[in-house]
Structures are given as structure tokens and as C-alpha cells.
A = this chain, B = another copy of it.
Amino acid sequence: MTSINRALVLDDYPSGAPEARHFRLIESPVPEPAQGEVLVRSIYLSVDPYMRGRLRPGPSYAEPQKIGEVMIGEVVGEVVASRHHRCAAGDLVTADIGWQTHGVVRGDGLRKLDPGAAPISTALGVLGMPGLTAYFGTLEVLQPRPGDTLVVNAASGAVGAVVGQIARIGGCRVVGIAGSDDKCAYITTELGFDRAINHRTTNDMSGALADACPHGIDCYFDNVGGPITDAAIENLALGARIAICGQIAQYNDTEVATGPRNLRHFLVKRASLKGLLVFDWRDRYQEGLARLTRWVQSGEMRYREDIIDGLEKAPEAFAGLMEGRNFGKQLVRVSDDPTR
């Protein structure tokens, strides 16, 4: 076993788009677990849009990432040494050790993975935080009913693909908005969405949504914000619900963007809007994971991963994610997956 830990630390807060130069690779000895701790070797790192929000010094729902410290994030890894009675070397787990090859964490509360149930990488995507975000955001915030029209953007992404498939299973008309023709073809042919709109080639998003949603939008799951969401708000059906999950269109902004004042649409349509963070359903993760796992195992729910190899590529993968260059859940493979 190597005795060197490699880690990416934040070197500076990005102004605008994050780039590789905002991170720095450092090496240090692999740490030893203390009593109650385990040492984890990273296999897959997750890069997620929420991370952009941490890369600024101001307050938000979580502490900002500190300069000079290992970049935060969840990994799928293998326990290489354990001083906790619940874990043993060889266990496959998820752990919040961030962008590094090795990390020490407390053993209690670690999620152990069953490689027989699903590929372990899915614990960072469809069967992880993004899948749970989609599950609770759709079922608890949007509460779609059979016959509703649901629109989701970033529709081929880790969250959006699950939102649309849950709605399809629930008897909705599902319209996905994505950023390439390939992604649009994927969500309609592979995932069973009814319609797809390529926002990069559509000049009139409001008209495209009106065309795709002849009875208006009952449920809108928003990962993106900006002009796409303006267009959705113009097409709400009576009693529509909006879930605000992300606003990636704004995350790299250096000043407050402006848009149309459109709250009057909410009045006219008696529509509602709610922000969501998956942590608020922490007590129900087991329910969500059990349901999502059954759908994945039965083939009713499909997923796609976009895997880049090499820890040093994590900043590049993250920057690409912020621009929609990924196709499916973005992962960084740091070491061999022993189950593949």
C-alpha cells in the first residue's frame, strides 16, 4: 500500500468560472485512524454543482470551503484500516473525505455499500445524494399527479434524469430541457421522456414550452434558473408547483443578475414555488434509497455516468460540469474499482 496521500486543496476563491488554477495538488503521509475511525481509499470522487456555492467566503446553508484545505466532497471508497467495530478492511463505503486519495473519518454513520445491489459508483449518483434530491424534491415538493405535465431542466444530469423518470413512472407527461441534441435524444429514447428541448438551439424557449406543454406546466423542477425559468413561469398551469433545487445559471455570476419581475404569474395561476435541500429529509434516506434501488434493479430507472480518470482531473471535471460539458453523473475515478 502506498504511504503517500495526494489531495487537492483550494488555493483561491474563483471569481466567475472555477478553473484548475484555483486548486493545488499536495502530498502528505497517509494518516492513521484513531480509535473509532477508519481509513478510506478513494475510488470515485463526486463533483456536484452545489460545490460552487461553497467556493465563496460568504455565508450560505453550509460553511464555505476554506482556502488551503482539502476540497470538500463525498467519495465512494474502500476501507483500508478500521478502528471502528462496524467496519472492516475491504468494506465499500461512502465517506465525506473530499478530493483526496485517502482520508480518515469516524466509523459511525458510514454508509456501507452492497456491490451486489448496484455498481458502487451509483452511490454518488442515482442511488446517492442526487437521486435522493430528485426523489424528495419530486415526491414531496412537486407532488406530481397522474396526468400532470412535469418539466425538468438539466434533464440528462444526475438529478434531472431521476426527476423525469419518477414523473414518468407516476403517469406524468415529462418534458426535459437539455443542452445538446445527444442529451435530448438520450432522455426521450433511453429514459422515456415525452419531449425534449435543446436550450442551446431554441431561440424561443417560452414558445417551445408552450408547444411541448399544451395544457401548461403543472410541475417545474428547476436546477438551472435564469431565462429558462423565466420561460417556464410564463407557461404555468393553474395550481402549478415549482421546486427550486439549483440555480446553476447564476453560480458563476460575479454580480447579481437581473431578470423580469414575474411574480404576478404566481398570483394569476395560484402557483407555488419552494426551495429544497435534500438534508431536510435525512430521516427518510433509507426509504428513498430502497425505492430508487428497486427501480434501478428492475430497469425502470436508468442512469448514465461520465467518468474521468485521475485525481488531478477533478478541477477540470468540475469546471466542465458548471458549463454542462458532462453527459450524465460526473465522477472522477481516483483508483481501481475492485468490483468492476
Q: Which residues of A contact B (CB under 8 A)?
A: 60-61, 222, 225-226, 229, 244-247, 250, 256-277, 280
In the bound complex, CA of A250 to CA of B262 (Å): 10
Smallest Cβ-Cβ distance to A280: which chain B residue: B270
Contact B61 A261 (CB under 8 A): no
Contact A247 B264 (CB under 8 A): yes
Contact A261 B263 (CB under 8 A): no
Which of B61, B225, B272 touches A268 (beta carbons < 8 Å)?
Answer: B61
Q: Knowing A267-B275, A267-B276, A273-B273 touch, does A261 contact B226 (C-beta < 8 A)?
A: yes
**Beyond A225-B264, A266-B275, 6 extra complex contacts between A and B, CB < 8 Å:** A60-B268, A247-B263, A257-B260, A258-B258, A266-B274, A270-B280
Contact B266 A257 (CB under 8 A): no
In the bound complex, CA of A170 to CA of B259 (Å): 36
Enumerate 24 A-B pairs (CB-CB under 8 Å) in ascending A order.
A60-B268, A61-B269, A222-B263, A226-B261, A244-B267, A247-B267, A250-B264, A256-B260, A256-B262, A257-B260, A258-B260, A258-B261, A259-B259, A259-B260, A265-B275, A266-B273, A266-B274, A267-B275, A267-B277, A269-B275, A270-B275, A271-B275, A272-B272, A273-B274
Contact A225 B266 (CB under 8 A): no
Nearest-neighbour CB distance to chain B for A253, whole angstroms, equals 8
In the bound complex, CA of A277 to CA of B226 (Å): 27
In the bound complex, CA of A61 to CA of B267 (Å): 9
In the bound complex, CA of A74 to CA of B226 (Å): 40
In the bound complex, CA of A58 to CA of B274 (Å): 28
| Interface pairs A-B: 4 shortest CB-CB | A266-B275, A267-B275, A272-B274, A258-B258
Smallest Cβ-Cβ distance to A253: which chain B residue: B261
Residue among A261, A269, A270 with the highest chain B CB neighbour number at 10 A: A261
Q: Knowing A270-B280, A273-B272 touch, does A250 contact B261 (C-beta < 8 A)?
A: yes
In the bound complex, CA of A280 to CA of B239 (Å): 11
